[in-house]
Amino acid sequence: MTADVAIIGLGYVGLPLAQEASRAGLGVLGYDISQRVVDGLNEGRSHVDDLSDDDIEQMRQAGFRATTDAAEIGGAKTVVICVPTPLSEDGGPDLRPVESAVATIAENLQPGMLVILESTTYPGTTDEVVRPVLEKGGLVAGTDFHLAFSPERIDPGNETFGAKNTPKVVGGHSPACTDAAAAFYGRFVDTVVRAKGTREAETAKLLENTYRHINIALVNEMARFCHDLGIDLWDVIAAAKTKPFGFQAFYPGPGVGGHCIPIDPNYLSYNVRAKLGYPFRFVELAQEINATMPAYIVQRAQNILNEDAKALKGATVLLLGVTYKPNIADQRESPAVPLAQQLLAKGAVVTYHDPHVTEWTAAGDQVQRVEDLEQGVREADLTILVQNHREYDVDALASQAVAFFDTRGVAADGEKVQRL
pLDDT per residue as tens digits for the range 317-375 = 999 999 998 998 888 889 999 999 999 999 999 999 999 999 898 777 789 999 999 99
* Percent of the chain whose pLDDT exceeds 70: 98
Q: Of 359 and 117, which is predicted with more confidence? A: 117
How far, in Å, CA of 317 to CA of 314, rounded? 9
Nearest to 79 by CA among 166, 168, 7: 7
State the pLDDT confidence band at 274, using cuts at 50, 70 and 90. Answer: confident
Does 22 have pLDDT greater than 70? Answer: yes
292-420 and 3-195 share a CATH fold: yes
Query: What is the reported pLDDT for 93?
Result: 75
Least confident of 222-226, 269-273, 325-329, 414-418: 269-273
Query: Residue 10 in contact with residue 18, Cβ under 8 Å?
Result: yes
pLDDT bucket at 261, cuts 50 / 70 / 90: low
DSSP 8-class letter at 87: B
**Which residues are 8's β-sheet partners?**
31, 81
Determine the number of helices (DSSP H) and then strands (DSSP E) in the chain: 15, 14
Contact 72, 31 (CB under 8 A): yes
Q: Could you write out the DSSP letters of every residue in 201-251?
A: HHHHHHHHHHHHHHHHHHHHHHHHHHHHHT--HHHHHHHHTT-SSS-----
pLDDT band at 174 (very low <50, low <70, confident <90, very high): very high
Q: How confident is the model at residue 273 (pLDDT cuts 50, 70, 90)?
A: confident
Give the right CATH number for 292-420 from 3.20.20.450, 3.40.50.20, 3.40.50.720, 3.40.50.2300: 3.40.50.720
pLDDT score at 91: 63
d(CA 87, CA 261): 12
Instruction: Tell me what the mean pLDDT of segment 73-99 comes to.
Output: 88
Scanning 278-391, the segments in alpha helix (DSSP H) are: 281-291, 293-307, 336-345, 373-379
- Catalytic annotation present for 177: no
Cα angle: 57, vertex 21, 78; to 5 degrees: 125
Let me know: does 141 contact 173? Beta carbons within 8 Å: yes
Q: Give the model's confidence band at 154: pLDDT under 50 very low, under 70 low, under 90 confident, else very high.
A: confident
| Average pLDDT of the residues of the chain | 93
> Is 282 buried (19+), middle (13-18) or exposed (0-12) by CB count in 10 A?
middle
- The string of pLDDT tens digits covering residues 206-243 is 899 889 999 999 999 999 999 999 999 999 999 999 99
pLDDT of 203 higher than 80: yes
Higher pLDDT, 272 or 241: 241
- The Cα-based distances of 417 to 225, 239, 254, 259, 301 in angstroms read 19, 22, 16, 31, 12
Q: Which residues pair with 170 in a beta bridge?
A: 194
Helix ranges (DSSP H) in 47-137: 53-61, 96-108, 125, 131-135
Q: How many beta carbons lie within 10 A of that of residue 381, not counting itself?
A: 21
Residue among 82, 177, 226, 260 flagged as catalytic? 260
Does the CA dihedral 226-231-234-237 come out positive or negative?
negative
What's the fold here for domain 3-195? Rossmann fold (3.40.50)
Domain residue limits, the chain: 3-195, 292-420
pLDDT tens track for 97-115: 999 999 999 999 999 999 9
